[in-house]
Every structure is written in C-alpha cells, then in structure tokens.
Amino acid sequence: MKTHIDGRKAAPYFFLLPFLVFFLIFRLWPIVWSFLISFFELEDGSIASFIGLSNYATIFKDPTFIKSIWNTIYFVIVYNVIMIFLAILLAVFCNSPIIGCKKAYRAVFFSPIAMSLPVVAVVFDLIFARNIGFITSLLGIFGVEYNYRIFASMTGAVWAVILMRVWRGAGYYCAYFLAGLTSIPEELYESAMIDGANSFQQFWKITLPLLKPMLVFVIIMSTILSFQLFDEPWILTQGGPANSTLTLQMYLYQTSFLKQDFSKGAAVSYVMTLLMLAASVVSVSRQKDSASGRR
C-alpha cells in the first residue's frame, strides 16, 4: 500500500519545524541540563560525579545566599506594594473623564519602561551623587548642603534601588490596570451615583473588586520579574554595602560566572524558580479564596 502525504496537511509542521528545533536546543535542553548538573560535581565543565543534594545543602549553609533570599523577598514585597498602589492611581487618573490629553499622559507614564535598564541606573546614580547630583544641585538652590552618601548606607541603597524600580515599572503596569478599567461598564458607576455613592465608595466597591483578576495577573508578573532583579543593584551598588542589595539573581551570577561553579549556580536557579512558583501559587489561591468568599 502506498502512503500518500498530503502536502497541505504537512505544510504547517514544516513551518513550525525551525521554531521547534531552536526551542529544543536553546530553551528546553538548557533547562533540562541545568537541572541535571545541579545534582553533579563538575570538573572543567564536564560531569565528574553524582553528589545528590549536596549542592543545595552547600548553598543553604552559605549566609550570603540566605541574605540574598531575604533581600529579594524584601524587594519583591515592598516594590509590589508601592508600585501597584501607584500604578492603580495612575490608571484611575488616566481613565478619569475630567482629565484631558489622556494619550499624552499615558505616553509619559509608559515611557520609562522603554528606556534601557543600564541607562536608567546610570541616570539614577548621577541623581543621587553627593557632589554633582541633581539632588545636591536642587538643595543647593535653597542653601541646603547635601552630604548624605546614599549608596554608602544600607537603608539608603535599598530604597534607591526600590525607587528606581518603581519609577520604571509603575507606568508599565498602569497600562494593564487601564485596560481593566476600560472594561468596567459605565452603568455600574451611574447606578452607584444615583444611590448616592461618592468617588471613594465607587472605587472601593466597584473599581477595585472588578480589577482583582488584573491585579492578580500584575502581581504574578511583577513578582516573577522582581525575583530576577539584577541590573539596577548591580550597576548602582554591586550588591553592597554589606550585601544589603545583593539579590538572588546577583548571587546566581557571582556563583556561576565569577566563581565558575556552574553546578551550584544551577542549584541556585532552581531554588529561585521554586520561590517564584510558590509566590505565584499563593497569589492565585488568594484570588480563588476571595472569589469563593464573594459567592
């Protein structure tokens, strides 16, 4: 029996073949390989011996690794709270019927995300510079001498990184919340106004509950990206002072590329993956619990 291949049915698979090949080689295989080598000891880039969970045990015994975990969690929580609050306010402002030139405001708020991270970090470094920075010049106009070395202070360095991250991300996530706001029917607000609800009550009883699906999505996206925080603290502080701004991503970079310990670096990457997964699951479960509570 002759086998006849229908060219029209086979064509989509031929078009998908280049993507699948690149995905398998450059995406899936590195994930599998990094997972495997996290259980082995490497010598000169080659697998030497199976050591089980020793790499994981070793990194958890490292105080610097534990410090990087707590720093990252602190960054994630504080950044998300400030950023989401500001992003919702910006979205409500841009969606307000009494505001004109909405497209101009949206472009201005969204523009920071289009800037390169190293460029933003260098600009903020100049802003906070003690001798030639923008803050120094601004305070000098009012006769105030600025001698605070923000990047030499543990608290100051942490908040400088958070501030830069919020400035860059709030407008980006504002676009998501704005999309959620435009999907809310205007009839709900009109009915609330007839019932005598003020602006705050409309926001609390209508806007915020109907934004919860988008809020969960933004929290998950922002959490995943926040766990990968690297460029800002690396350029501004290199993790200092006293590892106060050292993040998991920076610890991963130092372990894998500066120390050339790829097996421990792979273990760090999977610990980071599990933390991101746990944070995402908690966010989704809380959304489900709140939804079931309303029902």
pLDDT band at 223 (very low <50, low <70, confident <90, very high): confident
Q: Examine the domain organization and report whether 235 and 173 are in the same domain.
A: yes
In 3D, which of 77, 116, 124 has the Cα closest to residue 226? 77
The tens digit of pLDDT for each residue in 43-70 reads: 766 677 888 888 898 899 989 999 999 9
Q: Examine the domain organization and report whether 186 and 274 are in the same domain.
A: yes
Q: Which residues contact 257 (CB under 8 A, 6 or more apart)?
A: 265
Q: Are 223 and 80 in contact (CB under 8 A)?
A: yes
Backbone φ and ψ of 41, nearest 5° = -100, 135
What is the percent of the chain where pLDDT is above 90?
9
Q: Are 166 and 86 in contact (CB under 8 A)?
A: yes
Q: Are 170 and 178 in contact (CB under 8 A)?
A: no
Q: Which residues contact 233 (CB under 8 A, 6 or more apart)?
A: 157, 161, 239, 245, 246, 247, 250
Q: Is residue 56 part of a domain?
A: no
Q: Examine the domain organization and report whether 191 and 270 are in the same domain.
A: yes
Q: Is residue 164 part of a domain?
A: yes
The tens digit of pLDDT for each residue in 103-112 reads: 777 788 888 8
Across-strand partners of 193?
none
The tens digit of pLDDT for each residue in 205-214 reads: 888 888 888 8
Q: Is residue 55 part of a domain?
A: no
Q: Is residue 25 part of a domain?
A: yes
Structural domain harbouring 22: 7-50
pLDDT score for 228:
85
Q: Examine the domain organization and report whether 140 and 38 are in the same domain.
A: no
pLDDT above 70 for 264:
yes
Q: Examine the domain organization and report whether 28 and 88 are in the same domain.
A: no
Q: Examine the domain organization and report whether 172 and 44 are in the same domain.
A: no
The tens digit of pLDDT for each residue in 76-132 reads: 899 999 999 999 988 888 887 777 777 777 788 888 888 888 888 888 877 777 666
pTM: 0.81
